[in-house]
Amino acid sequence: MNGESFYLDIDGVTWQYMLVTDPEAALYWNASSYKLKLSDIKIATKCSPEDRKRLRREILKDIQENDDENTTQINRVS
């Protein structure tokens, strides 16, 4: 298991998930070096297949939005 994390959805429910990348080191690379995929996100909390699909999309979107914000902030400082 790599990168265990938690996601709080809009309904206030907390879900545990893991990022499982190939290669494993990609977990620590810059967003420009490795494009995270839906298949890299594993939902650890028991849920229905529909919830799993929705959560993976929401988590990926959240990660990408945060990466974009961090990149913008770094560019402003440089």
Predicted TM-score (pTM) of this structure: 0.79
One digit per residue, pLDDT tens: the chain, 78 residues?
455 799 999 899 999 999 999 898 888 888 788 999 999 999 999 999 999 999 999 999 999 898 766 654 444 444
Please tell me the total count of domains within the chain. 1
pLDDT of 33 reads 86
Q: Which domain holds residue 16?
A: 4-77
pLDDT of 66 reads 86
How many C-beta atoms surround the C-beta of residue 59 within 10 A? 21
pLDDT of 75 reads 46
